[in-house]
Amino acid sequence: MRAFFRSLSRPGAGGHHHALFRLAECVPFLIALVVLAIELSPAHVIYTGPLLVATPALAAVTMGPKGTLAAALCAVGVSIATATHNHAWGGQQVYTNFLALFLVSTASFMTSRTERTRRQNELNQVRRIAAAAQDVLLRPVPERLGPVRAASMYLAAETGAQIGGDLYEAVETRYGVRMIVGDVRGKGLPAVRAAAVVLGAFREAVHYEDELAEVINHCAAALERDAAAASADDAPGLLEGFVTALVVQVPEGPTVEVVNRGHPPPLLLRNGEVHALYPVSPLPPLGLEEFLDGTSGTTDSYVFERGDRLLLHTDGVIEARDGDNVFFALPEAMAELQDCTLEEFLEGLHAGLMRHTRGRLADDVALIVVDRAEHGDGEAAV
């Protein structure tokens, strides 16, 4: 579904920023090369000392302590080479340049080291906050919920991140076990905010809405209210955004009910074969209610018996590609892991996904897997 709306996404400038940053890192060494070229040419009468002394200070701005030290050593090497080539040893200017280079290099190295420590402390604090936010937003599902055994996993694509734009939850209610999996368009704090809005609405609605379709409609209404508030406050929010999501209900009987709002369908593993539970009437994602054509949502029912395994996932799994641009074969991976426990099943999918992408996820991944169980099979209901 994300591919369907890909044309609506705005291209990011992260690649350009990365290239400019890499170019800035090369500036100190380019200056050293320019100084070397001048000193080895007939134009060596030009005084290049200040340029060479500036290289460690420039390196400290864009690189860490190691980069600053490398730039300083490069500058010293150029100074020695040019002084030897121009027979300048013994002159006061040469030793003055060396002294200035030593002082600037020492100060730049210390500054870079202090700045690196400060940034690391800030990063550690952000990670602690992200971990706390994850405990609130994306809590691991209980091992047993009413008629099912369950397990969950979340993988953030961004390096060092704990949470992103994918969401999941599973709650035991008087109607049965109700679950949600969703994917917010976009990244960063606005995506986390949208995920929090949808999860908050879901956790409230699952306990009092009789109809499963009304649960997801409650989530859509909350998303719309937050977008309106963000627009009024001119704050980063959900403007022009949407959330693909599906809600699932597993009652005591051998069925499962699904309302799908533009999300990849759940996958049912039965006797070694994987079946996609496609919606009878496709519906648009949350945030695009104008395309509902007056309907409030359709609930589809499927057989879900003891021994069956149901996987709810986001498109970060099925759209993951290898170096040859081949998508990850999720149904085949599920079939190979059919005899594993739920935890081993998710770990196996995780390992297969990392092998396929060589450890580089392009999108966040959220997974919930449930097995149909029976009371008295060795585990107490929660």
In angstroms, rounded to a whole number, what is the distance separating the alpha carbons of residues 243 and 182? 7
What does the DSSP assignment read for 183-200?
A: EESS-HHHHHHHHHHHHH
- Total-model pTM: 0.66
3-state class of 265 per DSSP? Answer: coil
In angstroms, rounded to a whole number, what is the distance separating the alpha carbons of residues 362 and 341? 27
In angstroms, rounded to a whole number, what is the distance separating the alpha carbons of residues 338 and 360? 26
Contact residues for 167 (Cβ-Cβ < 8 A; gap 6+): 137, 138, 180, 181, 182, 183, 184, 195, 198, 199, 245, 366
**Tokens standing for residue 147:** 């008629």
- Note the Cα 365 to chain centre separation in Å: 8
Contacts from 30-35 at CB under 8 Å and sequence distance 24+? 31/55, 31/58, 32/71, 32/74, 32/75, 32/78, 35/78, 35/82
Domains of the chain by start residue, with CATH = 14-129 (no CATH), 140-372 (3.60.40.10)
What does the DSSP assignment read for 281-344?
A: S--PPBT-GGGSTT-----EEEE--TT-EEEEE-HHHHT-B-TT-PBP-HHHHHHHTTTS-HHH
How high is the pLDDT of residue 3? 37
How high is the pLDDT of residue 6? 37
For residue 333, how many other CB atoms are within 10 A of its CB?
18
How high is the pLDDT of residue 47? 63
Phi and psi angles of residue 339, each rounded to the nearest 5 degrees, phi first: -95, 5
Contact residues for 361 (Cβ-Cβ < 8 A; gap 6+): 155, 157, 316, 320, 353
Contact residues for 345 (Cβ-Cβ < 8 A; gap 6+): 151, 309, 334, 337, 369
Contact residues for 132 (Cβ-Cβ < 8 A; gap 6+): none
What does the DSSP assignment read for 62-130?
A: HS-HHHHHHHHHHHHHHHHHHHHHTT-TT-HHHHHHHHHHHHHHHHHHHHHHHHHHHHHHHHHHHHHHH
For residue 111, how many other CB atoms are within 10 A of its CB?
16
In angstroms, rounded to a whole number, what is the distance separating the alpha carbons of residues 337 and 170? 22
* pLDDT averaged over 10-residue windows placed end to end, the chain, 382 residues: 37 52 73 76 66 77 80 79 70 73 82 80 70 68 90 76 75 93 80 86 92 92 82 53 90 92 94 92 85 74 93 91 89 92 93 88 88 57 32
Please state, in angstroms and as integers, the Cα–Cα distance from residue 81 to each residue in 74, 164, 286, following that order: 11, 52, 66
Phi and psi angles of residue 371, each rounded to the nearest 5 degrees, phi first: -115, 140
Phi and psi angles of residue 135, each rounded to the nearest 5 degrees, phi first: -60, -30
